[in-house]
Amino acid sequence: MIDRFQIRPATRDDARRLFDWRNDESTRNMSKSKSLIPWEDHLGWLDRRLKMDQPNLFVFEVDGQPVATFRIDGRDLSYTVAPEHRNRGVAKLMLNEVRSRFGSLRAHVYSDNVPSIKVAQSAGMDVVIVDE
């Protein structure tokens, strides 16, 4: 059971972690861009993102350990759970907390990603089903 969690803004110190999570095969298969992202491209994106007035890029931690990330662009929500923390209720907890703090957002989810569709719907997100 997850007792203690927090949401914190992402920092440059999260670069390697976010890079690894983004390039995870399962994450890539459920992303708009399915290709591996080169390290330099990732750093450029992260630096640009963090320089925004409102980067809206967050890390979700459980018991002080980063386990997931999400970002908000307008009303659109993107998220991923670290591969080693999937299927443990992290996404459900995180998305419920995201909804309580930021309201109902729109999650674009591929039609074959049934677990993500279910968890986003149960958290009260507006789910947009994407077919390739």
Fold of domain 5-130? Aminopeptidase (3.40.630)
Q: Give the DSSP letter of residue 37.
A: P
- Reading phi first (left if > 0) and then psi (alpha if -120 to 50, else beta), residue 64 is in left
Q: Look-up: residue for tokens 């002080």? A: 64
Is 2's pLDDT higher than 90?
Answer: no
**132 pLDDT above the threshold of 90:** no
State the pLDDT confidence band at 1, using cuts at 50, 70 and 90. Answer: low
Residue-wise pLDDT for 32-85, tens only, equals 888 999 999 999 999 999 999 999 999 999 999 999 999 999 999 999 999 999
Give the Å distances, CA to CA, from 123 to 14, 17, 27, 91: 26, 25, 20, 9
Its pTM stands at: 0.92
Largest pairwise CA distance in the chain: 38
Sequence-ordered alpha helix ranges (H) in the chain:
15-23, 25-29, 39-50, 90-102, 114-122
Distance from C-alpha of 60 to C-alpha of 21, rounded to nearest angstrom = 13
**pLDDT tens-digit series, residues 93-110:** 999 999 999 999 999 999
Contact 123, 99 (CB under 8 A): yes
